[in-house]
Amino acid sequence: MNDRPILHVTGLRARVADEDSDILNGVDLAMRRGQIHAIMGPNGSGKSTLAKVIAGHPAYEATAGSVAFQGEDLLEMEPDERAQAGVFMAFQYPVAIPGVSIANFLRTALQARLEDGEELDLFDFQELLMERMELLDMEPSFAQRHVNDGFSGGEKKRNEILQMAVLKPALAVMDETDSGLDIDALRIVAHGVNTLKAENPDMSVLLITHYQRMLNYITPDVVHVMVKGRIVESGGPEVALGLEERGYEQYRRMQVA
Amino acid sequence: MPSNEVIQGLGLDDYKFGFVTDSEPVFRTRPGLDADIVRQISARKDEPEWMLKRRLKALRIYESKPMPQWGGDLSELQETLDQTYFYVKPQEQMERSWDDVPENIKETFERLGIPEAERRILAGVGAQYDSEMVYHSLKEEWEARGVIFDSIEDGLRNHPELFRKHFGTVIPAADNKFAALNSAVWSGGSFVYIPPGVQLETPLQAYFRVNQERLGQFERTLIIADEGSRAHYIEGCTAPVYSTDSFHSGVIEIVVNRDAFFRYTTIQNWSNNMYNLVTQRALVQQGAHMEWLDGNLGSKLTMKYPSCYLMGEGAHGEIMSIAYAGDGQHQDTGGKVIHVAPNTSSSIVSKSISKGTGRSSYRGLCKVYDGAANAKSNVECDALLINETSRTDTFPYIEIDEQTASVGHEATVSKVGDEQLFYLMSRGMDEAEAMALIVRGFIEPIAKELPLEYAVELNRLIELEMEGSVG
């Protein structure tokens, strides 16, 4: 049972809806429960597109292939259904929701997971929220701020991690592509992922990153290199180290051939 | 994006309070309006001669004024007015306690959640059922402190001098066509007097409801907050659905005397065939503070611009409003601040939401008279559009005759973005829930000013409105 991949992507092609050419040109990826996979690649390689297709962003459409999550066909599901099934995407650039506190936002997200007619107990929620914030060394007052409204880059990351901690996904997709994360933001993400992973070893993490330095903080089981919409190499952490030495150039040439 | 059919299939877009309880009116006038009907209304109320004369004079003013050609579309209104019952009296006498309220009327309140609200806040509850007060309770403590919280009819009957001194002084019949109409046929409403220095912690609440088909409701409220007093009046109402157009035209007059503080809160949720044309105005004297908090949902057309006339030095006026225009609805709302005296200040914050083919217009006036030195005014209006077909307009009128005045105006229009929706949906909310949360956040700066149970009700109404609006 444990051998069945939690995420199984086969032959996935995808594009921005209404455009002519695919960005993903046949992606194959299998993650087992509890694994951390890193996807690395140069700008425009399609790694962030992969994250968005997995989460169900409406601006992208899959044109071929499949994405199975715990055996279910993700591509047939709405974004909210995917979230409820246990997929979480930490956004690279999360948008602001003015006037909505983080606490209210999370309460609504948890309430949405309940059956019709069932009410989330407010005291239970408050307790959960406080416990989660304590786990991540966050000030309780943070939950009263409006979602991403006027947040610094680091605060946005903190908010994404807090949501992940409260929603407890089976699969977390961390979309960090190309973002100029400063060292603080990097540490927030890494500390959050490592803490939650330690708490729940069964959680799987798909870490999308441009830079090897993220992997100084989070140790992946598998590293994939994506170039031009395809995974061109997969291996252990040594793949990332090789990248740091030689860059993406080697793969670009490989693709041309 | 997803599942519009599913949401629409639930039929939740229907007007939530669209039920009718079976209550036979005791008396009503024939449809339409003339001097004879005005005489009947006055006679039924056993009014003094001066009031009848005022009514008849107001009728002549009403008849002489043309339909307004600005604001919303009133071209079909005359037809509605011809079929309107201008006076309906459901019961012979006022009820004092909840036990005396007839069962079917209780049932109506129950379905609106009123007994609960009453239990929780238990301040004074004046509830207007059709045109008369049927239920009216007032905390004994307030009576002991000299506070008057009566139906408008009782105000005239029991406090004739106070009543006559102020009635029609804030909004004279000649002010506009609908103020004239109200002055001719008014029925129901509240009379409130807060004596000097009396500070009320708990709000005064009136709840009323139009329950008679083609009933025009012309509630008239007169409030006097005397020197140094402090109070909050809350009015909420919701009307059932009928096939023919209904008409509501209220007049709210408030006098805020020196150094007094008064807040008037309204949440109105009319059925979407209702014309809602309301005049509400406050005279704010030296050092006094007036706040209008105004929520407008439903109706076919609402035209409503709460105003503050800042008459005395240092007077302050605030208008906070939320308008929600659903399919086929037009909310033409805003506010007026008139600076007459030096060192007066005002602010208007207006938030509108337009959904489907709904249209919301902000219409506001800021006038500073010569001599109102150092007057300060700030206007902020924000519009949120839900669909491509939704519409919003802004009509800010600014007239400044004073060099030292400072006036600011800021307007924003935003659309619910795909990125926002996706972000919320990626956390497990469906599209309607996500939309409702965005709208709730948008109105939060005003909603947080509401008493809790009103904020909850407002949020619930918006959630219901968002179901089926999606796509």
Complex-level ipTM: 0.95
Report yes or no: A105 at the B interface, CB cutoff 8 Å. yes
Higher pLDDT, B155 or B461: B155
Higher pLDDT, A34 or B92: A34
Query: Is there a contact between B417 and A109 if contact means CB atoms under 8 Å apart?
Result: no
Q: Chains A and B: how many Cβ contacts under 8 Å? A: 84
Alpha carbon separation from A78 to A14, A87, B266 (Å, rounded): 16, 12, 39
Write out the two tokens for B343.
Answer: 């060192």
* Separation CA B347–CA B365 (nearest Å): 11
- Out of A16-30, A229-243, B290-304, B374-388, pick the least confident: A229-243
Higher pLDDT, B414 or B126: B414
Interface with chain B: mutation pick from A76, A77, A108, highest number of B CBs within 10 Å: A108
Average pLDDT of chain B is 82
**How many angstroms separate the CA of residue A231 from the nearest CA in chain B?**
25
Are B204 and B192 contacting, i.e. CB atoms less than 8 angstroms apart? Answer: yes
CB-nearest partner of A109 from B422, B428, B445: B428
Q: Does B11 score more than 60 pLDDT? A: no
- Out of A18-22, A143-147, B200-204, pick the least confident: B200-204
Write out the two tokens for B339.
Answer: 């600076």
Query: Is there a contact between A58 and B426 if contact means CB atoms under 8 Å apart?
Result: no
Query: Is there a contact between A94 and B433 if contact means CB atoms under 8 Å apart?
Result: no
**How many angstroms separate the CA of residue A122 from the nearest CA in chain B?**
15
Look at the domain A5-252 and name its fold.
Answer: Rossmann fold (3.40.50)
Do β-strands B330-339 and B307-310 pair in parallel, antiparallel, or remain unpaired? parallel
Residues of B with Cβ-Cβ distance to A146 under 8 angstroms: 441
Residues of B with Cβ-Cβ distance to A79 under 8 angstroms: 422, 425-426
Query: Which pLDDT does position B195 carry in this prediction?
Result: 98
* Overall average pLDDT of the B248-262 stretch: 96
Query: Which pLDDT does position B1 carry in this prediction?
Result: 36
Chain B's closest residue to A110, CA to CA, is: B428
Query: Is there a contact between A95 and B417 if contact means CB atoms under 8 Å apart?
Result: yes
Phi, psi of B146 (to 5 degrees): 85, 10
CB-nearest partner of A98 from B425, B430, B442: B442
Report yes or no: A40 at the B interface, CB cutoff 8 Å. no
How confident is the model over A47-85, as pLDDT tens digits? 999 999 999 999 999 999 999 999 999 999 999 999 999
Chain A's closest residue to B443, CA to CA, is: A99
Report yes or no: A131 at the B interface, CB cutoff 8 Å. no
Chain B's closest residue to A164, CA to CA, is: B427
Report yes or no: A113 at the B interface, CB cutoff 8 Å. yes
* Separation CA A102–CA A87 (nearest Å): 20
Interface of B with A (CB under 8 A): 1-3, 417-420, 422-431, 433-434, 437-438, 440-445
Q: How confident is the model at residue B459 (pLDDT cuts 50, 70, 90)?
A: confident
Interface with chain A: mutation pick from B424, B435, B459, B467, highest number of A CBs within 10 Å: B424
**How many angstroms separate the CA of residue B349 from the nearest CA in chain A?**
15
Alpha carbon separation from A48 to A6, A188, A256, B81 (Å, rounded): 20, 20, 22, 61
Query: Which pLDDT does position B466 carry in this prediction?
Result: 78
Query: Which pLDDT does position B61 carry in this prediction?
Result: 97
Q: Is B43 exposed, middle or buried (0-12, 13-18, 19+ CB in 10 A)?
A: exposed
Are B19 and B111 contacting, i.e. CB atoms less than 8 angstroms apart? Answer: yes
Chain A's closest residue to B431, CA to CA, is: A80
Higher pLDDT, B123 or B302: B302
CB-nearest partner of A94 from B3, B423, B437: B423
Report yes or no: A59 at the B interface, CB cutoff 8 Å. yes
Query: Is there a contact between A83 and B426 if contact means CB atoms under 8 Å apart?
Result: yes
CA angle B344, B278, B155 (to 5 degrees): 85
Query: Which pLDDT does position B468 carry in this prediction?
Result: 60
Query: Is there a contact between A56 and B426 if contact means CB atoms under 8 Å apart?
Result: yes
Residue B242 contacts by C-beta under 8 Å, 6 or more apart in sequence?
B20, B213, B214, B271, B273
Higher pLDDT, B6 or B335: B335
Query: Which pLDDT does position B467 carry in this prediction?
Result: 72
- Using the Cα atoms of residue A168, residue A170, residue A173 and residue A174 in order, give the sign of their dihedral: positive
Query: Is there a contact between B437 and A146 if contact means CB atoms under 8 Å apart?
Result: no
**How many angstroms separate the CA of residue A105 from the nearest CA in chain B?**
8
Report yes or no: A58 at the B interface, CB cutoff 8 Å. yes
Report yes or no: A168 at the B interface, CB cutoff 8 Å. no
Query: Which pLDDT does position A95 carry in this prediction?
Result: 95
Q: Does A213 score more than 70 pLDDT? A: yes
- Using the Cα atoms of residue B63, residue B67, residue B71 and residue B75 in order, give the sign of their dihedral: positive
What is the amino acid identity at position B223? I
Q: What is the DSSP letter of B388?
A: T
Cβ neighbours of B10 (radius 10 Å) = 11
How confident is the model over B423-446, as pLDDT tens digits? 999 999 999 899 999 999 999 999
**How many angstroms separate the CA of residue B1 from the nearest CA in chain A?**
7
CB-nearest partner of A89 from B424, B426, B438: B426
Higher pLDDT, A115 or B224: B224
**How many angstroms separate the CA of residue A161 from the nearest CA in chain B?**
13
Q: How confident is the model at residue B181 (pLDDT cuts 50, 70, 90)?
A: very high
Alpha carbon separation from B330 to A174, B149, B166, B326 (Å, rounded): 45, 33, 33, 8
Q: How confident is the model at residue A43 (pLDDT cuts 50, 70, 90)?
A: confident
Any idea which residue has 């307004």 for tokens?
Answer: B68
Higher pLDDT, A253 or A170: A170
Q: How confident is the model at residue B93 (pLDDT cuts 50, 70, 90)?
A: very low
Report yes or no: A146 at the B interface, CB cutoff 8 Å. yes
* Secondary structure class of B310 (helix, strand, coil): strand
Query: Which pLDDT does position B102 carry in this prediction?
Result: 52
Give me the DSSP letters along A114-147: SPTT----HHHHHHHHHHHHHHTT--GGGGGSBT
Residues of A with Cβ-Cβ distance to B431 under 8 angstroms: 80
For residue B367, the Cα-to-chain-centroid distance in whole angstroms is 23
Question: Which residue, B358, B243, B277, B428, is CA-closest to A80?
Answer: B428
How confident is the model over B36-48, as pLDDT tens digits? 999 999 998 999 9
Residues of A with Cβ-Cβ distance to B443 under 8 angstroms: 99
Report yes or no: A54 at the B interface, CB cutoff 8 Å. no
Higher pLDDT, B139 or A207: A207
Report yes or no: A166 at the B interface, CB cutoff 8 Å. no
Residue B25 contacts by C-beta under 8 Å, 6 or more apart in sequence?
B88, B89, B90, B130, B212
Q: Does B137 score more than 70 pLDDT? A: no
- Out of A80-94, A115-129, B137-151, pick the least confident: B137-151
Beta strand spans in chain A (E): 7-16, 24-31, 36-40, 60-69, 72-73, 87-90, 171-175, 204-209, 222-227, 230-235
Residues of B with Cβ-Cβ distance to A59 under 8 angstroms: 418
Q: Does A105 score more than 50 pLDDT? A: yes
Are B177 and B124 contacting, i.e. CB atoms less than 8 angstroms apart? Answer: no
* Overall average pLDDT of the B183-189 stretch: 91
Global pTM? 0.81
CB-nearest partner of B428 from A104, A112, A146: A112
Query: Is there a contact between A100 and B423 if contact means CB atoms under 8 Å apart?
Result: no
Task: Report the share of chain A in percent with pLDDT over 70.
Answer: 95
Report yes or no: A167 at the B interface, CB cutoff 8 Å. yes
Q: Does B212 score more than 70 pLDDT? A: no
CB-nearest partner of B420 from A79, A84, A95: A95
